[in-house]
Amino acid sequence: MRQIGTLADENAARTFEDFLLTRGVKSNVEEAGDGWVVWILDEDDVEQARRELDEYRENPAAEHFVEGAQAAADLRKQEEKQRKRTQKQVVNMRNRWNRPMSARAPVTMALMAISGAVVAVGTDWTTPFDLCDRLEPIVKFLFIAPVEDAGAGYRTWIPAAGLQAVRQGQLWRLVTPIFLHFNPLHILFNMLWLRQLGAVIELRRGSRRFLTTVLLIAILSNVAQYLNGGPTFGGMSGVVFGLFGYIWIKSRYVPQDGLYMPPRMVFWMIAMFLLCLSGRLGPIANTAHGVGMMVGMVIAYWPVFLRKLQRGR
């Protein structure tokens, strides 16, 4: 903070202070002896403020100085509104963190609950490592296209049918493969990461926006996987990698949104993605993983892209 000079009376000092505010220069004025001292808060603004002060002393009745008082009043009102809004958001965020998980992130918890319920109902439990192995009565309705049990754990489908069921109105099939999991490690990995990533996004961005993000990732990754390998796939992995991509991009390009991805987490997620891609873990819906991650990244970066586009016009 630097003192740049004095003015004779309070009214003159307040008017000059208001004018500086309209120029983006933050200042304080205070009484000192026979006058009022003008202080500039930012060192980078000192030279500009001195020039403005010299001009003000020569012609304090100039129109731009007088009009600055009203403009400054409007600016202060806006700043006060923003301060109250920010304070309210801080209080709301604190209250949300103190609530139970089901209240903080209801969509995340619902996705986990549905996944668990599908496993419970769709598994015959005769073998410990095979989940969702009972097509009737529910599992068959969750694949992106109808499948049939060909015996010996093998499922078949009619390629010519395509997405006929979806075109006939069974639109849920575009999303519901995310609830199918076929072994304990599959669902354990997905639920742990869904809870970790989903809850953070939902808390910061809101349940409605989070649900929209999940649906977009699910639909696009499921359709891509179907086009690449047919309908006999399932799992939340595409969504999980999509949420990972979303937070990763937000943390790099929009850090003010409060979403942060530690480098170690980035390393492990990329390592898992590459491990799945290598084929060492058996049949994996890698297309869903890759497309899901790209969709999440695009959703996160899209507002940044639009802002850059507008600036370029």
pLDDT of residue 310: 77
Cβ neighbors of 124 (< 8 A, separation 6 or more) are: 133, 134
Q: How far is 55 from 20, CA to CA, in rounded Å?
A: 12
Q: How many CA atoms lie within 13 A of 38 on its CB side?
A: 31
31: helix, coil or strand? Answer: strand
CATH code matching the domain that covers 101-311, chosen among 3.40.50.2300, 2.40.30.10, 1.20.1540.10, 3.40.50.1860: 1.20.1540.10
Tokens at 228, concatenated: 């690449």
pLDDT of residue 66: 78
Q: Give just the sign of the alpha carbon dihedral 153, 175, 237, 293.
A: positive
- Mean pLDDT across the stretch 108-126? 93
What does the domain layout of the chain look like in residue ranges? Answer: 2-93, 101-311
* Angle at the Cα of 90 from the Cα atoms of 84 and 94, rounded to 5 degrees: 145
147 in helix, strand or coil?
A: coil
Residue 91 has pLDDT above 50, yes or no: no
Which DSSP string corresponds to 78-104? HHHHHHHHHHHHHHHHHHHHHS-HHHH
Give the pLDDT confidence of 160-189 residue by residue, as tens digits. 677 899 999 999 999 999 999 999 999 999
Note the pTM of the prediction, 2 decimals: 0.68
DSSP conformational letter for 197: I
Scored b (16 or more CB within 10 A) or e, 103-128 reads ebbebbbebbeebeebbeebbeeeee
Tell me which of 12-21, 77-86, 264-273 is least confident: 77-86
Q: Identify the residue whose tokens are 């600016």.
A: 75
Interval 10-36: pLDDT, tens: 888 888 888 888 888 888 889 887 789
Minimum mean pLDDT among 98-107, 180-189, 287-296: which range?
98-107
Whether 195 and 113 have beta carbons less than 8 Å apart is answered as no
* 311 against 301, higher pLDDT: 301
Task: Evaluate whether the domain defined by 2-93 bears CATH number 3.30.70.2350.
Answer: yes
Length of the chain (residues): 313
Fold match between domain 2-93 and domain 101-311 = no
What is the rounded distance in angstroms from the CA atom of residue 245 to the CA atom of residue 242? 5
Would you say residue 70 has pLDDT above 80?
no
What mean pLDDT is predicted for residues 47-66? 87
Q: pLDDT over 90 for what percent of the chain?
A: 43
To the nearest whole number, what is the mean pLDDT of the chain? 86
Three state DSSP letters for 235-301: CCHHHHHHHHHHHHHHHHHCHHHCCCCCHHHHHHHHHHHHHHHHCCCCCCCHHHHHHHHHHHHHHHH
